[in-house]
Structure 1
């Protein structure tokens, strides 16, 4: 369901020459002998996830879909990026399916927080608060506001029915609150870190409330886990991508720009940036992950990509079949001179823009391009894509001899912030 093409990347080494290294990394990942092995539960998640909890998750989502206009998802980082990426990619930016999904608890912006609270005050609301510990400051701050709002609006009993907590299975502040208040709870697995958690209830519950077929998503995940189990570089596109990244880094390319030509995949790029940025950016190593949505960003970033400092490579994340298409109309007077496109598919125009840009950046700009092509933007494809990037990320990080599953640098800002806030 995903194809990989490195023929436009100016690689000075053969990807296949890395087979022995990849075999070692694959062994570390699958036999839990590598760094961070406590957090590789995602590797076999398609086979091991809790079916009873999954059924309960779908039932609760169906219940809330019938009674709410808005689901407020309260979480930060991996506790919201994956769900938002999935919902926007699969449903589109202006999907008709209700309820509306609003993401909260991911900022200290007082304006944003106040506007969300004002926006939801006259709507039928449900809440999904997501935190392993319950003490993540952005989320805890927002959830206190939401909890009080819900109890004032509905009373404690009905508020409890409309609040769902996704948290640790046995301990932590949020788990304690959920038990005390009687919230329905779903589990963040101990062995799956936040940025890998979109395939768990962290991502699946908001998706199900948004009307996404989470069974199809899990089928895509299962298919990817089967397809990408073979470490042979002749057949594993995720591992090919992982190796190509390391070759390009050795060639002095320290910035990777993930490029999509679909507006509804902009948040996929944001999710990807967290996955690779937190996994790879440590010990003075790794590529800086950045992104662009073309052709839109060609009118802002295109000049630098074409003629700026040669420090980056592009990874194109392309889609064969759009969710929807439009035929460009003819106009009798043709005052805009656009009749040369009459009768053409707008998706075809988009793909020609992609081909033209690839040629400009590769041939004239000498910018390496890796190409990842997905079948479509369905739930099944999203599940497959997640596993593709998970495997690529794990292997490419092990090739750098770093832990792909921790994020020690994130704690530094928190310590400074707590000191400035006067937290004891």
Structure 2
């Protein structure tokens, strides 16, 4: 199937008046395999169109917030009142870190030290953490990892003779949670994350927009790009290429066991965008039960690869290993190119074929070669190209994959953007833990996998017997 170019209305903000925001999506198409027909794809596209219209009639939080001008203004106003500091540290995990990291690395990769993101509690990393102003991102504040980091930095600031609450900013639920209690008690600045937006869908809330604004990026353009993508899908009908991609992927997964979704990015700036996608896809689609309570153990496993690096580690498996994967090759308009000059022609005669070319030409040839090799091996390969790497295109791409995830969940008959069932059950047990297990609350993780210190001690005693 040929390329479908998603040309969105002219963007405001950093994209500039009159500039197009466009993504080019070339679909893998259907292979001549029993059971997959155009009629079946068309039936799924009709189902997905109905789902899109249902989302339009009753928008979930991650769509509703895109059109909440007051919420965006509040984020920008709060950011403008914060101290002018060159360095920030984000304490968060899951969706509270992955979105901000993708924004930073895609748009300003040379400023990683200006926004450090601590999304793990590896003691080595914590011991080396710098004493900087902290941006604490947690939906409830009770996530064990983020809470421990907060206590650690609180102590470090005290040891330096500083008032910790003068150096901490919170991004949290507007009404409830431990961190909201601290905000109210200490009067520290805070950004609000809407209660109806789950962590993995929160990148276009203060979770991603506040760090972007603090780094001098155009948060408004991120939102505008996402708005344009939503309007494109909402008004595009069943023929919209996003719906086709989801429908084809579903049939390949269910009928032929191609349940691993490989995103191979040919752009270093998009490495961590791939990580953001992986959490969104895995946590949204990996479900034990469907919406009717039937045990199904559905899911699609995301795998992020980087071209051309992983041509030398994974592509052999992709082309000749088990046919249990489908592929999305992602590329983008590049910011710069570097030429290989003829002054190096004396290095070795066998290297002459590289001269008078650019790294961009070599990179494109590598991507095209890999794509062709996978197709020749009969693998289903789609291609997505970001027209540019700016705020508007990134915002549109975030929403593209959020919508793709929700639509994929619809075909699996469960709610992709809902809180997982175990997490909802945990909420019914009351607020603070009472010697039970701690759970990952930022991104709605359903697993109770962090034992209390007392429980860990008992397990240690049992192991020593």
Distance 2:266 2:113 in 1: 27
2:309 aligned with 1:288: no
Q: Which residue of 2 aligns with 1:41?
A: 61
- Please, what TM-score do these two structures have when normalized by structure 1? 0.88
Distance 1:251 1:419 in 2: 47
Distance 2:327 2:64 in 1: 30
2:127 aligned with 1:114: yes
* CA displacement 1:160-193 (0-9 Å, x = unmatched): 3331100111221111112222210110101111
Structure 1: gaps (5+ residues): none
Larger relative contact order (Cα-Cα within 8 Å, sequence gap ≥ 6): 1
Q: Which residue of 69, 87, 106 corresponds with 1:89?
A: 106
Greater displacement, 384-393 / 345-354: 345-354
Q: Output aligned runs, 1:63-102, within 5 Å.
A: 63-64=82-83, 66-68=84-86, 70-92=87-109, 95=110, 97=111, 100-102=114-116
Distance 1:213 1:113 in 2: 31
User: Does the 8 Å contact 1:22/1:231 carry over to 2?
Assistant: no
Q: Which residue of 2 aligns with 1:185?
A: 190
Q: Which residue of 354, 362, 368 corresponds with 1:341?
A: 354
* 1:408 shift after superposition: 4.3
Q: Which residue of 2 aligns with 1:305?
A: 318
Distance 2:223 2:271 in 1: 22
User: Does the 8 Å contact 2:281/2:405 carry over to 1?
Assistant: yes
User: Does the 8 Å contact 1:218/1:383 carry over to 2?
Assistant: yes
Aligned pair in 2 of structure 1 residues 98, 412: CA closer, same or farther (>3 Å)?
Answer: closer
Q: Which residue of 2 aligns with 1:165?
A: 170
Q: Which residue of 2 aligns with 1:103?
A: 117
Distance 2:329 2:362 in 1: 17
* 1:334 shift after superposition: 3.5
* CA displacement 1:91-115 (0-9 Å, x = unmatched): 12xx1x58611112x2232112112
Q: Which residue of 235, 256, 265 corresponds with 1:230?
A: 235
Distance 2:413 2:220 in 1: 36
Distance 1:417 1:301 in 2: 39
Aligned pair in 2 of structure 1 residues 154, 99: CA closer, same or farther (>3 Å)?
Answer: farther
Distance 1:76 1:56 in 2: 25
User: Does the 8 Å contact 1:8/1:362 carry over to 2?
Assistant: no
* CA displacement 1:136-182 (0-9 Å, x = unmatched): 000000111112222333621xx433311001112211111122222
Q: Please tell me the root mean square deviation across aligned C-alpha atoms, in Å.
A: 2.2
Structure 2: gaps (5+ residues): 1-21, 289-296, 423-444, 459-465
2:25 aligned with 1:13: no
- Please, what TM-score do these two structures have when normalized by structure 2? 0.80
* CA displacement 1:352-383 (0-9 Å, x = unmatched): 111111111110x2211121221122111110
Distance 1:309 1:418 in 2: 43
2:250 aligned with 1:246: yes
Q: Which residue of 367, 371, 381 corresponds with 2:393?
A: 381
Aligned pair in 2 of structure 1 residues 170, 422: CA closer, same or farther (>3 Å)?
Answer: farther
Aligned pair in 2 of structure 1 residues 261, 154: CA closer, same or farther (>3 Å)?
Answer: farther
